[in-house]
Chains A and B, each alone.
Chain A
Amino acid sequence: MLVHLQGPWTPLLGRLTLQQIPFHVPILVVTFIVVAILAAMVLAATTYFGKWGYLWREWLTTVDHKKIGVMYILLGLVMLLRGFADALMIRTQQAMAVGPGSPGEMGAVHGYLTPFHLGQIFTAHGLIMVVFAATPLLVGLMNIIVPLQIGARDMAYPYLNALGLWLTTAGAALVMMSLFVGNFAHGGWYGFVPYFELPYSPGVGVDYWMWTFQLSAIGTSLGSINLIATIVKMRAPGMTWMRMPMFTWASLSTNLIALTSFPVLMVALALLGLDRYVGTHFYTAGMGGNLMLYNDLFWVWGHPEVYFLILPAFGIMSEIIPTFSEKTLFGYVTMVIASFAIGGVSWGVWLHHFFTMAAAPSVNSFYSVTTMLVGIPTGVKVFNWVFTMYRGRVRYELPMLWALLALFLLLVGGMTGMMNAFASNDYMWHNGLFVVAHFHMMVLVIAASIFGAVEYWFPKVFGFKLEQKWGKWFFWFMIIGTGWTFVPMFFLGFAGMTRRLDYIPYTQWSPYLHIMLVGMVFYVVAVLFFVAHLYVSLRDRVKNRVGADAWGTGRSLEWMTHSPVPAYNYAFIPHVNVLDEWAWRKENGLTELHPGDYEGIHMPKNTGVPLFLGMLFMGLGFALIWRIWWLALLCVALIVALIIIRSFDRDTDMTIPAHTVEQVESGARDETSVAMPTAGVRGGTVIAHSILQSGTSGISGSTTSTSPSLAPMDR
């Protein structure tokens, strides 16, 4: 052993003992039972309906960017729910534990959670929401949409794409595992040193946190390389830079941020790991370490990461608002410049996360000013969206409602952000609830955009629209919940209340905490409406079938191919002539999608290797967390072996024969009815718009073990 560990260690099981399973925490026991029942039901259902083969062939081994994207989004939604459950517990605990007289339940001093347990919850809440909910949701959307928008048949590296998904999933699985085996970190999602060093966090919690974070960082970096290479190298002929849709631009700038910043996070975490595992002195207070170095490295990543999350949200808004304003985006060039300006400035603002470190006033001034600079391109974007609606015909369908909600939240978030950037303000409420409320406004901008994007692109991926009624209930309850929860939080910020308290010493704060609880109730109801929304949409899917241009006023390339999108995306690669190519084609009546004979299409073959690698990485993470050295070595050896063996595999591609393409395409075309939308498209009609006559798909590809079916998604 290189470092002094508290507690037992054995060569076979490392630090793992039976006591690490929290039988004594009733909340966790109940959670475990619920999760176990749900898992058993899913497994039983899969077996009962004989779907294992389908699951394996079509999803687990897939390298199709759309299916990988869908799985990313599913992962994101599941983790979003988990993060929301954590939020509920934080809010209820704080509302219960006010004042010295507040009673303690279930072994807690105040409220019903011990400080140690609450610490794990808020840490998990932050980490999950940032890297296992928002990131997978956005990465999933980019995965699905970007290749479609640039007229590509796939991503640059389909295999790497799958690997990124399974690494992220491995990280998420470890977070979930920490619920039932051992414990999670208990000091905040971004970690504190020296608090996260061994003397102050002696358990395995920090190790869980560190390795899950590291896995998701690797996964996201791989994804960003993939998306950048896809955009740079795989655009369809004629798709010049200045003809790229805004979402693609946003994806490019956001992935540049990820590509450049994630390595620094890996270093920040790896050095902490060395401190904890080897006993080095990077971040220790004594022995020549520097504890502020961790904050520095972490936020060198952390601040760009914030824009990594917000830029795709801006991209989504820039797609939805023109579509439902039935009008071109205002100031396209400006929007592109603004996206890159935000990305660029994001690299020079990180010290504002530790303004209170006692840096020289000149340093704080520099970072205060650079932080404010972000307000300029962001302000420009807001104005450009407003001027997109100006002289338009705005339709208030669900995606548009979400985009506008995001716009209003951005106004609040932007204003409070400028207040935070003002360093003398930050001295007063740094680490306080004002900051928390501010960044929740911003992540709600992201969340609203994501919900908008899901509504907007869902028909493209699955071939039917989500219904509107329950979706609107969901929307309005989210708004009420947001106001009711976060307005009091801003007030608590003015009260000077700080983050991460599990006991509230000052009874004056309790009214605000109780009002916030009401907001949480609205959120809970909103979640129920969301479930109803999904259920009703799935039930009525036949009724809500759509054709290629689901909203009738789509502008960019993705609306040109069938909904749902075939495995090869485009039977013929389009040649792009203008920005908003599809809108231009519709204006000029050029909507025929069948210009001649079909050709065979070369596609990558499915492979199980990324899934196995993900599992091995999860095993490696688990072994390192519990310091089971033999298992860690075994996993590393297997990972290296698997990568090398895969590199010898020559049979990685296949060709979809022309007749199969024809079969798929004519199937989709047969479903096209003559119903023409008049939805605001000037001149011309939309031939590709279709209404499906029956629930059965005309598309059915071969489903042999080696080649995936060509039906894009299961109907």
Chain B
Amino acid sequence: MTEHMQDPLNHPEVQLANGRAYLASFIISMLLMTVGLWLAVTHITTPLGTVLMISFLAGVAVIIQGYFILHMDISHAQVWHTVAMVLFLPLFVVTIGLTAWMFHGLYQRTMIMPPAASSMAHMSPMSH
């Protein structure tokens, strides 16, 4: 637990703060989100097209933010942060993707809303 005796402000993770990068990140992500909102509200393309476009915009925004404000790069100070994130990324995809795949099939195979159900709801009990 020996500490660096030097000034903590000289630490590379303090020094990487960058006002211009933060501003750029703010402007670009605001822009992307605004476009996304506009797409969603105006219904300018098909629902699927809009969903894909919004996903794309979100992806770009996240990459921009990851680079500019989370400082994900391979500099000496940040490389392990980046490695950790890269290790996690496929797991996010696996968790969401495989789950979606499994349940898409499961809904088709098991979640049949019986057509008769609603009409039977007020059926009188059978007499015998």
Contact = CB atoms under 8 A, between A and B. Distances in A.
Given A358-B109, A653-B1, A292 B91 contact: no
A348 B95 CA distance: 9
A55 interface: no
A296 B91 contact: no
A228 to B, nearest CB: 8
A357 interface: yes
A347 B102 contact: no
B102 A363 contact: yes
B98 to A, nearest CB: 7
Interface string A332-363: 00000000000000011001000001111011
B88 to A, nearest CB: 6
Instruction: Among B1, B80, B91, find the residue whose CB has the most chain A CB atoms closer than 10 A.
Output: B1
A603 B2 CA distance: 8
A192 B29 CA distance: 43
A646 B38 CA distance: 47
A213 B17 CA distance: 40
A260 interface: yes
Interface in A109-167: 153-154
B3 interface: yes
B103 interface: yes
B80 A358 contact: no
Contacts of B110: 358
A602 interface: yes
Interface in A266-300: 290, 292-293, 296, 300
B123 interface: no
Interface string A532-550: 0000000000000000000
Contact of A264 (B80, B95, B102): B95
A359 B98 contact: no
A357 B95 CA distance: 18
Interface residues on B, range: 10 to 19
Given A232-B80, A260-B91, A348-B98, A359 B3 contact: no
A653 B88 CA distance: 34
Nearest to B1: A602
Interface in A36-76: none
Interface string A501-514: 00000000000000
Contacts of B101: 363
Given A232-B80, A290-B103, A357-B106, A347 B91 contact: yes
A664 interface: no
A505 to B, nearest CB: 29
Contact of A153 (B1, B87, B88, B103): B1
B1 A604 contact: yes
A351 B3 CA distance: 47
B102 A359 contact: yes
Interface in B88-105: 88, 91, 94-95, 98-99, 101-103, 105
B105 A359 contact: yes
B35 to A, nearest CB: 31
Contacts of B87: 256, 260
Contacts of A601: 2
A51 to B, nearest CB: 28
B102 A300 contact: no
A345 to B, nearest CB: 11
Interface in A231-264: 232-233, 256, 260, 264
Contact of B95 (A293, A300, A358, A362): A300
Contacts of A653: 1
B1 A296 contact: no
A interface, size bucket: 20 to 34
B102 A603 contact: no
Contacts of B105: 359-360, 362-363
B1 A154 contact: yes
A416 B118 CA distance: 48
B103 A260 contact: no
A300, A348, A358, A363: residue with the most chain B Cβ atoms closer than 10 Å = A363
A347 B92 CA distance: 10
B120 to A, nearest CB: 16
A347 B96 CA distance: 12
Given A300-B95, A348-B98, A359-B102, A260 B1 contact: no
A292 B106 contact: yes
A603 B1 CA distance: 6
A296 B102 CA distance: 9
Interface string A629-665: 0000000000000000000000001000000000000
A290 B3 CA distance: 52
A421 B19 CA distance: 54
Interface in A146-198: 153-154
Contacts of A357: 106
Contact of A602 (B3, B98, B106): B3
A296 B103 contact: yes
A594 to B, nearest CB: 20
Nearest to A654: B1
Contacts of A347: 91, 94
A264 B103 CA distance: 17
Contacts of A154: 1
Nearest to A152: B1
Contacts of A358: 106, 109-110
A264 B96 CA distance: 11
Contacts of A602: 1-3
B97 to A, nearest CB: 10
Best-surrounded residue of B95, B102, B106 (most CB of chain A within 10 A): B102
A619 to B, nearest CB: 32
A358 B91 CA distance: 25
B3, B105, B110 interface centre (most CB from chain A within 10 Å): B105
Interface string B11-24: 00000000000000
Given A260-B87, A347-B94, A358-B109, 19 more contacts: A153-B1, A154-B1, A232-B80, A256-B87, A260-B88, A290-B103, A292-B103, A292-B106, A300-B95, A300-B99, A347-B91, A348-B98, A358-B106, A358-B110, A360-B105, A362-B105, A363-B101, A363-B102, A602-B1
List 6 tightest A-B contacts by C-beta distance, closest first. Answer: A360-B105, A602-B1, A602-B2, A260-B91, A347-B94, A363-B102
Interface of A: 153-154, 232-233, 256, 260, 264, 290, 292-293, 296, 300, 347-348, 351, 357-360, 362-363, 601-604, 653
24 contacts: A232-B80, A233-B80, A256-B87, A260-B91, A264-B95, A290-B103, A292-B103, A296-B99, A296-B103, A300-B95, A300-B99, A347-B91, A348-B94, A348-B98, A351-B98, A351-B102, A357-B106, A358-B106, A359-B105, A359-B106, A360-B109, A363-B102, A603-B1, A604-B1
